[in-house]
Structure 1
Amino acid sequence: MGVLKVIELLSSSETSWEDATRKAVAEASKTLKHIRSVYVQEQSAVVNDDQVTEFRVNLKLTFEIK
């Protein structure tokens, strides 16, 4: 294993926290290679008219620098 770097990302989804996490990893993988893990640091949600309308995650993504 080489050097690992950790970055912080924010993502959201209208479906779930899991979907927000998947979206963040998919978007990050467009420019980052060798992604090793993701740690969901915080979860929150937006409520409108007594309904959850958006799920948000603050996560840390770890990738290897080669």
Structure 2
Amino acid sequence: MTAVKIVKILGVSTESWEAAAQEAVAEATETIDDIHGVEVESWTAEVEGGQITEYKATVEVAFLIHRGR
């Protein structure tokens, strides 16, 4: 039987929502093995003076649970 764990990560970028999502995945790979998929849960942004200054992507990361490690 395979078990999968899902964690929620917030990625941030000054460039774009796509870059924010990629940042979340890149950070996740630093501490999580066997990532099998991601789902972008939401896109948000910080606004100053009528301009977006910071893009944010909330991403759910799915990975296998390895027992006995």
Tell me, yes or no, whether TM beats 0.5: yes
**Hey, which bits of structure 1, 4+ residues long, moved more than 4 A?**
none
Q: Residue 54 of structure 1 corresponds to which residue in structure 2?
A: 54
Letter in 2 for 1:46: E
Q: Which structure 2 segments of 5+ residues have no match? A: none
What secondary structure does 1:2 align onto? Answer: coil
Deviation at 1:11, TM superposition (A): 1.4
Deviation at 1:2, TM superposition (A): 2.3
Aligned pairs, number: 66
Query: Between Structure 1 and Structure 2, which shows a larger proportion of strand residues?
Result: 1
- Using the aligned pairs only, state the percent identity: 36
Q: Residue 4 of structure 1 corresponds to which residue in structure 2?
A: 4
Q: Residue 23 of structure 2 corresponds to which residue in structure 1?
A: 23
Q: What is the TM-score with the length of structure 2 in the denominator?
A: 0.87
